[in-house]
Amino acid sequence: MRIGRSRVSELLNVQSTISTLRAQIEQLRGQLSVAREVFAFLSGLAADTPLRDSETLPAGVDPIENYLAGVDSRPDVRATRQRITAADENLTVARGGHLPSLDLNGNYYFDRPGYLSDSNWDVQLALTIPIYAGGSVQSKVREATSQRTQAELAMSQVTRAAEQEIRALYQSVVLNITQLEALFQTNQRALDRARLTAKADYQRLLAASARRAGITSAATPSP
């Protein structure tokens, strides 16, 4: 009787395991379908487009200083640097309001009535000294100085955020590669996930440090 109950228990355990595995298969199919739809939305390609894993991992990553050196080439950092340049020019213009201005105006007449009818042109030279405009000019200078300070703060914040992103991605790549080396073919699914995660993080690291190569178009999956 004990043997019979044991066999029934084993059979129930096997059936339960099979049911769990089937449920996991359906769950993974659903995740794959969702991932395919997201892929179609982001890429503009058909959801059933065959994919090929063409990205390669290096034998080892470069020192982190090599990736941090690319911070200045990032588009977001370059954009904030341009804001500082524009703020500097705006400040120069604002300070120029304290200086006298000299204008040269010329006129040419096709028909000039009056006592100057014999002259068909004239030139005027106008000198403007901003004696009573100091307050408004200084206000513009203070505003331009404030904008310049804000641009510097934005530049510092964006640069520090970029460096932090690179450091985090670098550590993630190193850990993923280490994990990849520790896995074996007996756990193919975990091995594939670790390999793809390592490749994705490595490409993010290249992009974050402005070293990303061209994106390869989708193709047939590799065996």
Q: What does the pLDDT look like over 11-65, one tens digit per residue?
A: 788 888 889 989 999 999 999 999 999 999 999 999 989 888 787 777 778 999 9
- Do 58 and 24 lie in a common domain? no
Average pLDDT of the chain, as a whole number: 83
- Do 119 and 104 lie in a common domain? yes
Mean pLDDT value across residues 112-121:
81
* pLDDT score of 137: 83
Which residue matches tokens 């199919």?
Answer: 29
Which residue matches tokens 């982190």?
Answer: 64
Higher-pLDDT residue of 68 and 223 is 68
- Do 133 and 42 lie in a common domain? no
pLDDT in tens, 61-97: 899 999 999 999 999 999 999 999 999 999 998 888 8
- Do 41 and 66 lie in a common domain? no
Mean pLDDT value across residues 198-222:
68
pLDDT in tens, 131-157: 777 788 888 889 999 999 999 999 999
In whole angstroms, give the CA distance from residue 178 to residue 193.
Answer: 13
- Do 30 and 71 lie in a common domain? no
In whole angstroms, give the CA distance from residue 67 to residue 171.
Answer: 12
In whole angstroms, give the CA distance from residue 194 to residue 207.
Answer: 20
* Domain around 38: 1-49
In whole angstroms, give the CA distance from residue 74 to residue 67.
Answer: 11
220 inside domain: no
E strand segments, 109-162: 121-128
* Structure-token pair, residue 219: 């193709």
34 inside domain: yes
222 inside domain: no
- Do 22 and 55 lie in a common domain? no
Residue 6 has pLDDT above 60, yes or no: yes
188 inside domain: yes
- Do 34 and 144 lie in a common domain? no
- Number of domains the chain is built from: 2
Half-sphere exposure of 173 (CA within 13 A, CB side): 25
181 inside domain: yes
Cβ contact 104:124 at 8 Å: yes
* pLDDT score of 77: 93
What are the CA-CA distances from residue 197 to residues 26, 64, 125, 135, 207 (Å)?
23, 19, 72, 60, 15
Residue 217 has pLDDT above 70, yes or no: no
Report, in angstroms and rounded to the nearest whole number, the Rg of the chain calculated over CA atoms. Answer: 35
Q: How confident is the model at residue 194 (pLDDT cuts 50, 70, 90)?
A: confident
- Do 38 and 89 lie in a common domain? no
- Do 104 and 129 lie in a common domain? yes
2 inside domain: yes
- In this structure, what are the phi and psi dihedrals at residue 39, rounded to the nearest 5 degrees? -60, -45
Q: What residues are paired with 105 via a beta bridge?
A: 124
- Do 107 and 168 lie in a common domain? yes
- Do 7 and 94 lie in a common domain? no
